[in-house]
A and B are shown apart, each in its own frame.
Chain A
Amino acid sequence: MADAALTQASEGPQRIDDSPGASATGVKDAIFHGLCFTAAMVLMATLLGLLISLAVGGWPAFSHFGLQFFTSSEWNPSGTEDHPEFYGAAGPIVGTLITALVAMVIALPLAIGIAVFLVEFCPKSIERWVAIAVELLAGIPSIVYGMWGLFVLAPWFEEHVMTPLRLIAADHPGSFADHLMTGASSGSNIFTASIILAIMVLPFIATVFRELLLSVPSHVREASYGMGCTPFEVVSSIMLPYIRKSAVGAAMLGLGRALGETMAVTFIIGNSHAFPKGVFDSGSTIASTIANEFAEATGDLHTSALIALGLVLFVITFVVLAAARLLLGQEKH
């Protein structure tokens, strides 16, 4: 767009540039262009380098364990003879997927609700403040979420949700409460980790949804109101279907964020490699496993297993994000 105008216009100056005095400008321009190009290439090289280093570093683990890397949940860094070193990543992979999905189940309805509220129902006087509040929520660094989860949410959950449920489960074996509490460990578990993730992802999706709703042409909205639709019907039958494709894309962006979150989850998920036995059991995610173990993975196989985990995470988030971008089209932060 900009380029077309420039190239057209510069056909004139280029002829002027043929003169000796102007060639210095041409060189300067070429250098500037070169610098910009180099920067862009550095960026591209960084991403490709990341991918390559993950693949190269993770290859030994993949070739050593094959498909079992994905299906086994045995994670045994000790290298004794009776219990040889083994790294099966099913636990962290499942943990990553479960926490992200549960987080989305919690966050998506809330995010849609917030976006609709802001667009349709919010009184103009407080609209700006509510929008700022949602943005603030998005801006809180993930480690603060981790701190809050560890020191506030987990103990609260332990005391006010799990202990009563434990008592009920003990008195009524076989009931729903009993099933809920299978494998329950402490307030640091998969469910609370999902709650934290949901709160983290929520403002992000809400903001994008709000922009999408605002992008619905006003004549479409007004026409439906004109026909006597209630706001609920306008939103559910007209506006949401209108933005459906982009909405799914926005949701997937949120999912991508939830999949890769590290610090908030590491503090509160309980760090257990085994396959989670229940929704209140502790577990681990790929990111939390790498964060916990990488600094001291001594064996080469252990390090390689962790990098292989990283590659798996990269592939999962890449697929989700690529799909999201496709659905969202060009724009939208």
Chain B
Amino acid sequence: MFRKFAITLGAATMLASAAHADTITGAGATFPNPIYSAWAKDYKAATGNELNYQSIGSGGGIKNIKAKTVDFGASDKPLLPNALNDAGLMQFPTVIGGIVPIVNIPGVNPAQLKLTGVVLGDIFLGKVKRWDDPEITKLNPGWKAPALPITVVHRSDGSGTSFVFTSYLSLTSPAWSRAVGANDSVNWPTGLGGKGNDGVAAFVKQTPGAIGYVEYIYAQKDKVAYTLVQNSAGLFPMPDPVAFAAAAAKAPWGRAPGNYVLLVDQAGPKSWPITAATFILMYKNQDNAAKGANVLKFFDWAYKTGDATASKLDYVPLPLAVKNLIRKQWLQITAGGKPVYVSK
């Protein structure tokens, strides 16, 4: 009886293993997960090919592509040019989005509270401990602040979102820059850690007095109140694709080696100060030409037809000029000396 079962099982698994050769695997940032999932669904409907994207955080994306356990990695934290060269990787952006601080304070609505980089730094350093602290009420004179303690929520995993947020804090808050610095995983002075953009939103949503930071779409879909943040012009723009696009308007794509571009605290009255592009990491030298071609086919398709979906999810698609620039860069991706990308 036992043997029969074993034989059937073996046969079944062998048959089952003749599977989807066209599936591309990717892993990384939770920042773009909503748009990559939507694109994957549409791509499968359009072409029948599958994209399996694991949203495990930018740190995981970098680790997995370095270990070659996925076909591409995804990270909001761009790698520096020498790190790219050392690893033999190249990176390119897909969409641009914004990061917003989210709060859970009784009576506070989205876009009501105003904060600055300095105040955010002090909150996340643990220096400002209650919502009725003068640093906060000074910026929000009309608001009756409750004597509610602040619970800081940050990321527990290695996160490009954290990298962008801490970069913003480092640029605007000298205290933060001295004490902590910017990276995808830092020595958070206080607070609890949520896993992924999801986890932070979840914790903030269920803890009165909490403050966290997430990619804009998570605040929308999870119905958590976000705050306004002062930009370099001293104004408080609404976080929306217009503000994100304004921040990205002068980005030096094409002039930045390795496409290393940071969009935090950009100039311009309409710019949202915590904007970021999210990147894809691929090996310049592909082991499997077909796999490499498939990955690029997907992103080419996304560039061509994915703009509407991206806009619907409040991401900013790349300008056409930048997309064409990237397509030229794809020619650097080769297998056995020949580029895998075939422009149509």
Contacts and interface: CB of A to CB of B under 8 A. Distances in A.
Partners in one complex: yes
Interface of A: 74-80, 82-83, 86, 154-155, 158, 163, 166, 170, 184-188, 270-274, 282, 292-293, 295-298
A272 B181 contact: no
B192 A186 contact: yes
B56 A76 contact: no
A188 B203 contact: yes
B158 A166 contact: no
Taking each of A155, A184, A282, A296, which has the highest tally of chain B beta carbons within 10 Å of its own beta carbon? A296
A82 B183 CA distance: 12
B206 A77 contact: no
Interface stretch (B43-51, B57-65, B329-337): B57-65
B186 to A, nearest CB: 5
Given A77-B185, A187-B207, 15 more contacts: A78-B183, A80-B182, A158-B207, A170-B147, A186-B203, A186-B207, A270-B192, A271-B192, A272-B190, A273-B188, A293-B158, A296-B57, A296-B62, A296-B63, A298-B158
Contacts, number: 101
Interface size class of B (residues with CB under 8 A): 35 or more
B151 interface: yes
B291 interface: no
A297 B180 CA distance: 19
Given A158-B206, A166-B149, A296-B57, A76 B187 contact: yes
Interface majority SS on A: helix, strand, loop or mixed? loop
Contacts of A154: 206
A161 to B, nearest CB: 14
A272 B57 contact: no
B214 to A, nearest CB: 16
B192 A296 contact: no
B60 A187 contact: no
A155 B208 CA distance: 10
Given A82-B181, A292-B156, A272 B187 contact: no
B157 interface: yes
Return the 10 tightest CB-CB contacts between A and B, nearest first.
A78-B183, A296-B60, A271-B193, A296-B59, A270-B192, A271-B156, A77-B185, A282-B192, A76-B187, A186-B207
Interface in B173-198: 178, 180-195
Nearest to A288: B156
Contacts of A74: 187
A274 B190 contact: yes
Given A187-B207, A298-B62, A78 B193 contact: no
Nearest to B199: A271
B66 interface: yes
A297 B186 CA distance: 13
Interface in B197-213: 203, 206-208, 210
A185 B206 CA distance: 12
Taking each of A79, A155, A297, which has the highest tally of chain B beta carbons within 10 Å of its own beta carbon? A297
A75 B192 CA distance: 14
Contacts of A274: 188-190
Contacts of B184: 77-78
B207 A77 contact: no
A272 B151 CA distance: 12
Contacts of B58: 296
B194 A271 contact: yes
A75 B61 CA distance: 21
B65 to A, nearest CB: 10
Contacts of A297: 59, 63, 158
A166 B146 CA distance: 13
